C-alpha cells in the first residue's frame, strides 16, 4: 500500500500503521489486547512493519529503548489499555532518565466511557506524565496522523525522550482521510532559552587557554548530538584528557591516548583524581549526576566549569557553571573549534599517567589463574575475544544493572559509539535481555551480548522465548554469584554484612535456556571462558553461558554516598579473594 501519495479514507488503526510506516518504522515491539485489537487487525495490510510479540509489556518498552540506543533511530512499542499500558511504565521511565527517543502507542477504552473505570481502563496519560517527555490522548481518527508525527518530532528533537500516544478504541475504528504530508507538524521550535552568544564563547576559549589542568567530561549528549569527531578534535587540539560518564563510554575510543576511562562512583582512581585536581572542567553533554560528582561541596574545588548542554534546566542544577553554552553540542563545538589555539604541552597528561600505576582496580586482570573465576575475567575475556576476532567494532554489549554493569564499564574497552547499551539514570534491573533484543533488531549484523547478573536476568527472563520466536542470535552471559551483588556489597560496606534478602536462588540457567531450545554452557574456570565465548559468538544462534563466578567479590574503587570524589575506597590490599591457590 502506498502511504505517502494517496489520500485514501482509512480507519484510525490503518492511519496509525500508515503513519508509522511513513516515519520509516520497520519494527514494533508490542503485545495485543482488547482495546488495541483494531490496530492489530490492521497490521496485516502493512507488510513493511515487523511486529515483535514480547512476553511482557515491560520487555516491549525496553526493546524499543535498546533499539533506539543501538541505532540512533526512534524505537516504537505498543500495548493495550490498563495493565498493558502500566507494564510499559518502567521502560518509559528508563528511557526518560537516559533521554532515549521512544514512542509508545497504547490502546484506550472508547471515548464514550473514558473516566468510568471501564474494563481495563487506566489513566495512562496521567500515570506517565512525569516519565515521558510528552504524552497525548487521541479520541478522533483524524487526529492520529498529526499526533503521531508530532510525537516523533518531540521524541527526537532537543533533548530526546519518550512520548506516549494513547488512542481510544473508537478512534481506531472510525474512518478519516489520511494525508501523511498534511499531518506534518509545524517547524520544530527549539527551547527558547538556548543561548550561545559570541561573548560566552570567547570567555570559554579564554578559560581553555589559561587552563593548565583541563579535563573534558564526556557525556551521553556527545552521542545524541553526533559530536564525537568535534569532541576528539577539541581534545586533540589542546591535549585535553577525556573522562567519560557511564553513558558517554564509547563516544570517544577507549584506546585513544587522551581517553582516561569512566569517572564517578566506580570510576578509576586516576580519572576521579584528575577531576579533583583539574583547574578547568569542560562538561560536554552531561548533567553532573550525583553518581559522577560525589559530594558536591568538595567536587573539583579548583576547577572553573564550562557547561555545554542542550537542556537549559540542567545549567547550574548541581554544579555552578562559570560559562554556560546552552545549545546543541556539535553546533557549539563547531563554532569554537576554528578559534581554538593548538597546544601540545603534555605535562598534565604525564601527571595523570604517572598516577595510574597504583590503581588497584587493575589487579584482577593481571592476576594469574588461581582457580577462581571473577566477573572481571569474564568481561575482560569477552572483550579480548571480540578484539582478537576483529569484531570489536561489530559488538554491542547490553548490560543489566549492578556489579556486572560497573565491571563491564571498567573492563570492556568501548571503541565506538552505541557499542554499550545500559540503563544509567534509572538503573533498571531486568533491562538487559529485552534491550538486547531491540539492539539485535537495530543491528542484525552485529554480535549482541547480554551481560546480566543472576538477579536482573530473572526479572525479564521470559523474553528468552521472544528470542527463539524471532530466531535471534543473541549471546547471553549470566554473571552468577548467587547474590544481588551490588546490594550485598553495600550491605557489606554500610550495613555490617547483614545480607538481608540479597542471597538469591536461581534456576539452572543452562537448563532454563534448554527448555526454550537455546543451547548453553556452564563455565566456572578461567580457561574455559574464551573458548565458550567464541563458541557462543560463532554459533549463529542464541547461546546462554552461565558464568559461575566467585560469590563475594566487590566493585572497586568505590565512593561512598556523600564522600568526595577523591575519597575512594580501594580494594583491600589483603583481599582474601585475591589469594592464589598456593596461599590458601
Partner 1 sequence: MLHTFIALVDDKPGVLTRVASLFRRLNLNIVSLTVGESERSDASRMTIVCDAPEHAAHRIKASLYKLETTIHVDEVNRSEAVVRELCLIKVAAGPNQPHGVHSRSQIFELANVFRARVVDLAPESIMLEMTGSASKIEGLLQVLRESSYEVLEVSRTGRMAMRRGHHSGRVFKALGVNTAEPLAPHDFPEVDHDVDPDALPTGEALPNEFDEA
Catalytic residue selected from 23, 57, 230, 277: 57
Q: What does the block give as the cell for 249?
A: 563510554
Based on the residue annotation, tell me whether 230 is a catalytic residue of this protein: no
H helices present in 184-322, as ranges:
198-210, 221-225, 228-238, 269-277, 290-293
Tell me the C-alpha distance between 243 and 273, whole Å.
Answer: 11
CA pseudo-torsion sign 135, 140, 146, 148: positive
Query: Shortest distance, CB of residue 321 to partner 1, whole angstroms?
Result: 8
Question: CA-CA-CA-CA torsion for 417, 421, 422, 428, nearest 10 degrees?
Answer: 150
3-class secondary structure, 555: coil
**Which of 104/448 has CB closer to partner 1?**
104
User: Is 206 among the residues that bind partner 1 (CB under 8 A)?
Assistant: no
**CA nearest neighbour of 571 among 406, 359, 260, 353:** 359
Three-state DSSP state, 574: coil
Cβ nearer to partner 1, comparing 63 with 217: 217
Q: Check if the beta carbon of residue 125 is closer than 8 Å to that of residue 135.
A: yes
Active-site choice (1, 4, 112, 119): 119
Tell me, by CB under 8 A, how many residues bind partner 1. 38
| Binding string, residues 82-121; x marks residues near partner 1 by CB under 8 A | ----------------------------------------
Q: Which is nearer to partner 1, 96 or 529 (CB)?
A: 96
The binder of partner 1 chosen from 149, 220, 287, 304 (CB under 8 A): 304
Collapsing DSSP to helix, strand or coil, 225 comes out as helix
Residue 394 annotated in active site: no
For residue 318, state whether it binds partner 1 (rule: CB under 8 A): yes
With CB under 8 A as the contact rule, the residue among 19, 58, 125, 475 that binds partner 1 is 125
How far is C-alpha 280 from the geometric centre of its chain's CA atoms?
A: 28
Kindly report the backbone phi and psi dihedral angles of residue 304, in degrees, each rounded to the nearest multiple of 5, phi listed first.
-75, 155
Of 554, 568, 560, the residue nearest 403 (C-alpha): 554
Task: Look up residue 74 and give its DSSP letter.
Answer: -
Candidates 115, 161, 106; CA nearest to 137 is 106
Active-site hit among 133, 169, 304, 413: 169
Is 4 a binder of partner 1 (CB under 8 A)?
A: no
Among 539, 562, 579, 580, which residue sits at the site for partner 1 (rule: CB under 8 A)?
562
**Known catalytic residue: 108?**
no
Q: Which of residues 129-168 bind partner 1 (CB under 8 A)?
A: 129-130, 133-134, 137, 154
- Catalytic-residue membership of 119: yes
Give CA–CA dist 455/458, Å, rounded.
Answer: 6
Note whether 272 binds partner 1 by CB under 8 A: no
Using CB under 8 A, which of 290, 345, 508, 579 touches partner 1? 290
Nearer to partner 1, 196 or 258 (CB): 196
Out of 322, 415, 552, 575, name the contact with partner 1 by CB under 8 A.
322
**Cβ neighbours of 471 (radius 10 Å):** 8
Residue 495 binding partner 1, by CB under 8 A: no
Active-site residue flag, 408: no
Helix (H, G, I), strand (E, B) or coil at 288: coil
In terms of DSSP bridges, do strands 175-177 and 9-11 run parallel, antiparallel, or are they unpaired? Answer: antiparallel
Residue 7, interface with partner 1 (CB under 8 A)? no
Among 47, 192, 368, 540, binds partner 1 (CB under 8 A): 192
Residues that bind partner 1 (CB under 8 A): 125-126, 129-130, 133-134, 137, 154, 190-195, 197, 290, 293, 295-297, 299, 301, 304, 311-313, 315-322, 324, 326, 561-562
Report the catalytic residues. Answer: 57, 119-120, 169, 486
Amino acid at each position: 500500500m502506498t502511504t505517502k501519495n494517496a489520500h485514501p479514507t482509512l480507519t484510525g488503526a490503518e492511519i496509525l500503521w500508515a503513519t508509522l510506516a511513513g516515519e520509516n518504522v520497520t519494527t514494533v515491539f508490542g503485545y495485543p489486547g482488547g482495546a488495541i485489537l483494531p490496530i492489530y487487525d490492521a497490521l496485516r495490510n502493512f507488510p513493511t512493519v515487523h511486529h515483535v510479540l514480547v512476553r511482557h509489556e515491560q520487555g516491549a518498552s525496553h526493546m524499543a529503548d535498546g533499539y533506539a540506543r543501538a541505532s540512533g533511530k526512534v524505537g516504537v512499542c505498543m500495548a493495550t489499555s490498563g495493565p498493558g499500558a502500566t507494564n510499559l511504565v518502567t521502560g518509559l521511565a528508563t528511557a526518560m532518565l537516559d533521554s532515549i527517543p521512544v514512542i509508545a502507542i497504547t490502546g484506550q477504552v472508547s471515548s464514550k466511557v473514558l473516566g468510568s473505570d471501564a474494563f481495563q481502563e487506566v489513566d495512562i496519560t496521567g500515570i506517565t506524565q512525569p516519565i515521558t517527555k510528552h504524552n497525548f490522548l487521541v479520541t478522533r481518527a483524524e487526529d492520529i496522523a498529526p499526533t503521531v508525527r508530532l510525537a516523533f518530532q518531540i521524541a527526537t528533537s532537543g533533548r530526546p525522550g519518550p512520548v506516549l500516544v494513547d488512542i481510544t478504541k473508537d478512534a481506531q475504528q472510525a474512518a478519516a482521510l489520511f494525508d501523511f504530508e498534511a499531518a506534518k507538524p509545524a517547524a520544530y521550535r527549539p527551547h527558547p532559552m538556548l543561548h550561545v552568544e559570541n561573548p560566552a564563547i570567547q570567555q570559554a576559549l579564554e578559560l581553555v587557554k589559561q587552563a593548565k589542568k583541563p579535563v573534558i567530561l564526556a557525556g551521553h549528549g556527545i552521542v545524541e548530538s553526533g559530536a564525537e569527531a568535534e569532541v576528539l578534535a577539541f581534545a586533540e587540539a589542546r591535549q585535553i584528557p577525556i573522562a567519560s560518564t557511564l553513558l558517554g563510554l564509547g563516544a570517544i575510543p577507549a584506546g585513544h591516548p587522551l581517553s582516561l576511562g569512566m569517572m564517578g562512583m566506580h570510576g578509576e582512581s586516576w580519572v576521579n583524581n584528575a577531576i579533583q585536581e583539574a583547574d578547568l572542567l569542560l562538561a560536554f553533554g552531561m548533567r553532573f549526576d550525583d553518581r559522577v560528582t560525589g559530594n558536591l561541596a568538595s567536587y573539583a574545588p579548583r576547577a572553573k566549569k564550562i557547561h555545554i548542554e542542550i537542556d537549559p534546566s540542567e545549567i547550574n542544577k548541581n554544579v555552578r557553571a562559570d560559562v554556560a553554552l546552552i545549545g546543541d553540542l556539535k553546533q557549539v563545538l563547531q563554532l569554537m573549534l576554528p578559534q581554538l589555539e593548538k597546544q601540545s604541552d603534555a605535562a598534565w597528561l604525564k601527571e595523570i599517567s604517572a598516577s595510574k600505576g597504583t590503581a588497584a582496580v587493575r589487579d584482577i586482570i593481571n592476576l594469574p589463574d588461581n582457580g577462581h573465576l571473577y566477573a572481571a575475567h569474564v568481561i575482560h575475556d569477552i572483550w579480548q575475544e571480540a578484539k582478537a576476532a576483529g569484531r570489536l567494532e561489530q559488538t554491542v554489549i547490553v548490560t543489566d544493572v549492578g556489579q556486572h554493569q560497573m565491571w563491564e564499564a571498567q573492563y570492556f574497552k568501548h571503541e565506538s559509539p552505541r557499542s554499550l547499551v545500559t540503563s544509567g539514570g534509572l538503573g533498571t534491573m531486568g533491562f538487559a535481555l529485552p534491550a538486547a533484543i531491540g539492539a539485535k533488531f537495530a543491528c542484525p549484523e552485529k554480535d549482541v551480548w547480554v551481560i546480566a547478573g543472576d538477579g536482573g536476568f530473572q526479572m525479564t527472563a521470559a523474553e528468552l522465548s521472544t528470542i527463539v520466536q524471532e530466531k535471534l542470535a543473541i549471546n547471553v552471559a549470566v554473571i552468577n554469584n548467587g547474590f544481588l551483588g551490588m546490594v550485598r556489597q553495600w550491605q557489606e560496606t554500610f550495613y555490617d554484612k547483614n545480607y538481608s534478602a540479597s542471597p538469591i536462588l536461581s534456576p539452572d540457567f543452562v537448563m532454563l535456556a534448554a527448555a526454550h531450545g537455546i543451547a548453553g554452557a556452564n563455565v566456572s574456570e578461567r580457561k574455559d571462558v574464551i573458548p565458550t565465548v567464541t563458541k557462543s559468538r560463532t554459533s549463529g544462534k542464541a547461546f546462554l553461558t552461565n558464568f559461575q563466578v566467585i560469590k563475594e567479590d566487590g566493585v572497586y574503587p568505590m565512593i561512598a554516598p556523600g564522600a568526595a570524589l577523591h575519597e575512594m575506597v580501594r580494594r583491600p590490599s589483603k583481599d582474601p579473594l585475591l589469594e592464589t591457590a598456593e596461599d590458601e
